[in-house]
Structure 1
């Protein structure tokens, strides 16, 4: 390597190590522990690449980046930071950093990024600001190496229109990543529209995606705009994309290829002005081999893959996550709680099959049920022992029998009407018939505890309250009816 490196870090040991390594690699190095000195060198036209820490005694290295871009837009800046949050990575990318490296760093990686910076010094792309860089409402939480890699990929994707495929187990936070890519990206002023393929009847997915015209099919009483139209100018998040039926896959592929679509039963050509972010917990390559997912659609969606690690691969993030969930619960009106260090260690010993979502549900229960202000190790063990085990989860065969019972009920329902169709609104009526006993039985099983009921059903507590009001379901505290 040949070039002058301006190195700024308030840690003398880091300056020494990096200076020696860069010098051995053939570079000339000027090192300082001061932001002001670094800026003076830059103003004087020195340096071919900058390597800077974020927090230094006389300032913030990130605050220099806009001035560097105005003064010397071709000067690559590599940012290092021990503040390893997603917002640090986003701030670095939005401010125009050539690369962001979390501490502790890999020395070989620093040298490789410096080498690339020396070979690629032109960076003229303009990036919009993301607002207040100091806000603390982080969309993602965690400082583990596994999450640092996610942050780095996200920071590079923020202001692109590339399709993204997020892969991760249930409960890892796939929609949080999708929302962060939207909220901090170039399309942040547009809508964020989500559609879960597993939650929509297969025969309705095309209509939900692309809309339909009045009279396009039986029951289409009015024109319906689909999610593509609703997301125009913004982001369309397609969750559980592996559950998309074959016909809808074919049509989605055509839309991605042509950049336009028509509503079902319509002729008007509508531009598909959306960024697609897809997510799945399934192995799409295995589905391709089984003939259940189109390979050409996979490559259209999987332009940039993002793998979200399960909680068992980022156990060091559990203390930050647990405290954040307790604070979030407090902001929602639950009792204020803190958690002991031994309790946090107990949490790190668990097998989190439900990942971050399971941990959040546990912290909410502890916030409600633990009588002490500080959650102890004993309270954690007690609540963990009471959580539902895998033995309580319906098997695949039991789920199939439930589906068969519902199907039989619907067959009888249609048979009652003979050759005539049932009155309009069938979907809402059947959904109500299923929801009412499901919520009533769940409330009974938890003795009217709405926090536990929401956790058992896997829905938000506000959603549960709304359903109780809409369906007029009685709630009796402390009494189990079944």
Structure 2
């Protein structure tokens, strides 16, 4: 294996401490390093020092480092540029990509990662994407400065300028549709339609008609031609949300469309070219569904060209208070009273486990804005509303999200112990909580017939009897006729 190539590196940053630390780290890696504290110093450095890589901050005393990157693309089109910034926002990552930067590293950054990025830049050609129009004063679709979200920003920035198929993975409420809209809105197809489809909300028998459309008379009740979502999204983006809920037969049809680039409406012999970008999303474990035979492996590889993994809110250290204040501002813009958070309230929000993720946080902030009598929201009101929000477990279960409801319940249970550990035997206690209502309901459904209940559950009858005894499940209540 060849050793990394040494190079000439120019580092521009207005912070003398950062210049020193970066210079010494890169020198130890074998590079020749020159430093500059401003754009003017950077320009003078170019006169006598021809760098192989430029490492630059964004905010400099005499201008914007990203604007200088745009000029360098003209004067030195082959120079890889690595952008550093404490303005860790979605737009910063996009602008860095727009200007042709080789990579973007948010501050604070890891020196080892910077050294690896410089080594990669020395052996690679910087990418140049189509320009992305900066939207001044926009209502940013994604908020967060945590390292987990920075990785999301960087991935999005790399895919907006192409048509690669993207699969967004993450728990419910993490913002999967927001990410899909960001990829569309900042990409080349932004002037064409963005068409979202929730696969879990479409009846099984209507999915093909919903996606591909149908001709008049194609089936009973088809009184007129229906334009499907593929056709609605022509030249734009089709977002297939909850793709894991798609029936296997519809998966086969979708795979054919992805392979051929054409779709045919139900009841038609006319193929239509599918000029759409496909972005899909799921909260489910698709490899597990593949192993169970309910999701096609070949379709998974077609959809998973570029995976974007959204972190749950509990893994986004420091983002909760930032998001909370953002949602309070949005609530005020929608007509609710303007409120702010005190430090104790923000700290309490950061400690919450957020099983409902960003969606749960947004709902809470709107509720707090409406209920708080004071202009500043304190920790006591936050604590009260978090406790009252425990009913969301039942809401999740009613919506069919049983796994999320159970996860919500367990997360809340663990959080109640704070930094301490709960008593031993948690697995058996949780299992009993799930099994007890399951056995009661199944027995009720078969009117107390244990033989039928055992068959329905896939259990041996003796095993069922033992479970009923151990869990204290008494005779089933017969359902009314």
**TM-score w.r.t. length of structure 2:** 0.80
Quick check: 1:34 aligned with 2:45?
Answer: no
Quick check: 1:84 aligned with 2:88?
Answer: yes
Q: Measure how far apart 1:391 and its partner are.
A: 5.8
Aligned counterpart, 1:328: 330
Match runs of 1:409-424 below 5 Å = none
Residues 42 and 68 of structure 1 are in contact (CA less than 8 Å); yes or no, is this contact kept in structure 2? no
Residues 57 and 65 of structure 2 are in contact (CA less than 8 Å); yes or no, is this contact kept in structure 1? yes
Change (3 A) 1:23 1:326: same
Distance 1:394 1:100 in 2: 38
Match runs of 1:247-396 below 5 Å = 247-389=249-391, 392-393=394-395
Change (3 A) 1:332 1:259: same
Count of aligned residue pairs for this structure pair: 398
Residues 237 and 278 of structure 1 are in contact (CA less than 8 Å); yes or no, is this contact kept in structure 2? yes
Render the CA deviation track for 1:85-104: whole Å, top value 9, x for unaligned.
Answer: 11111110111111000111
Residues 43 and 71 of structure 1 are in contact (CA less than 8 Å); yes or no, is this contact kept in structure 2? no
Match runs of 1:422-437 below 5 Å = none
Unaligned runs of 5+ in 1: 401-482
Aligned counterpart, 2:133: 130
Render the CA deviation track for 1:250-295: whole Å, top value 9, x for unaligned.
Answer: 0000000000111101011101101100000000011001110000
Residues 97 and 129 of structure 2 are in contact (CA less than 8 Å); yes or no, is this contact kept in structure 1? no
* CA-atom RMSD in angstroms: 1.9
Residues 39 and 64 of structure 1 are in contact (CA less than 8 Å); yes or no, is this contact kept in structure 2? no
Aligned counterpart, 2:235: 233
- SS of the residue aligned with 1:389? helix
Render the CA deviation track for 1:275-322: whole Å, top value 9, x for unaligned.
Answer: 100000000011001110000000000011111111111141011100
Change (3 A) 1:398 1:52: closer
Render the CA deviation track for 1:205-240: whole Å, top value 9, x for unaligned.
Answer: 111100000000011111111111111111100000
1:100 equivalent among 86, 100, 104: 104
- SS of the residue aligned with 1:194? strand
Distance 1:48 1:397 in 2: 56
Q: Measure how far apart 1:2 and its partner are.
A: 2.6
Distance 2:79 2:393 in 1: 59
Match runs of 1:42-81 below 5 Å = 42=46, 46-81=50-85
**TM-score w.r.t. length of structure 1:** 0.80
- SS of the residue aligned with 1:387? helix
- SS of the residue aligned with 1:279? strand
Residues 328 and 339 of structure 2 are in contact (CA less than 8 Å); yes or no, is this contact kept in structure 1? yes
Q: Measure how far apart 1:3 and its partner are.
A: 2.1
Q: Measure how far apart 1:248 and its partner are.
A: 0.8
Aligned counterpart, 1:445: none
